Amino acid sequence: MSTDKPILLVTGATGQLGREIRAVSEFYSDFHFEFFDKTSWPIEQEEIGNSIFSKFHPAFCINCAAYTAVDKAESDRENAYLINAEAVRILAATSRKFGSGLIHISTDYVFDGKSSVPLKEDDPVHPINVYGDSKQKGETFSMIENDQTLIIRTSWVYSEYGNNFVKTMIRLMKERAALNVVSDQVGSPTYAMDLARAILDIISSASFVPGIYHYSNEGRISWYDFAMVIRDITRSPCLINPILTEQYPTAARRPAFSLLDKTKIKEIYKLEIKDWRQSLIQCLDRLRKQEGVNPEWIIKM
């Protein structure tokens, strides 16, 4: 393909992060973007990847494709490892062959949640579920296959697109008089639009430093805290009850502590990261403007 701009390939284009990258891409006019969903580019199929890289010769590939059904992964191990590990190995090897950098998105679930201080990039990994283990293996494969790989671990991702905690809470608060939300799992949410901008700012920076980085919005909260603020902003009368993890059994275990230390990414790439409340308000304001959403929400804290 003939273009004088560096080309960025984006996989998983119909997911939360992929759609946010598309939404903000207009502000990064120095690049030419090509977006692919799992139909146009199943990343586990090496021949398709080779063909796409051969056609576009991208400067970078941003891998937003992932198997993210955490509970389902416990019984669907084969597909979880295929997409989150083996396909990442293929993608990294292909990007190396064509001289392209790889931006790969990973997760706080590579940790076991037993820490009491924000997790750093070089802290020991110890996944406690299939999803986390498959993502951790994907990290390892990508670094082995392409030394120009930059991995971003993130947590509690939400946006106005797709299925996520924020949208689920809004829906359930309309349907029910009361909800139980886990209060002993701690972390920080990540607004996918903020992460999308961070990725493109990194690619736009003067220097590219491969390695593992952590990114989420600033602040420390529980899922219960998160739900309470969503309720207050949306003026819902729904009663939110705090419960313990053991009172809400799931197929996959969740880390109790997922707070990420973001010092490295802020120092190397000079990123300014928003507080989680500020980003949540922005997301809810965008949702409010969509058809069928209560126009009387208070978007001011």
Are the beta carbons of 224 and 45 closer than 8 angstroms? Answer: no
- Mutual angle of helices 223-234 and 165-175, in 10-degree steps: 60
* Contact indicator for 194, 20 with CB cutoff of 8 Å: no
For residue 151, the cross-strand partners are 104, 212
131 classed as catalytic: yes
Helices (H) and strands (E) in the chain, counts: 10, 12
Written as one letter, the residue type at 281 is: I
C-alpha angle 182-258-177 in degrees, rounded to nearest 5:
20
Between CA 193 and CA 201 the distance in angstroms is: 12
Q: Give the Cα separation of 248 and 236 in Å (integer).
A: 23
How many other CB atoms are found less than 10 A from the CB of residue 40?
Answer: 13
Residues 6+ apart with CB under 8 A from 274: 191, 194, 217, 218
Give the C-alpha separation, 112 to 109, whole Å: 7
Which is catalytic among the residues 109, 131, 215, 269?
A: 131
List 240's β-bridge partners, or say none: 179
Q: Report, as residue numbers or ranges, the catalytic residues.
A: 131
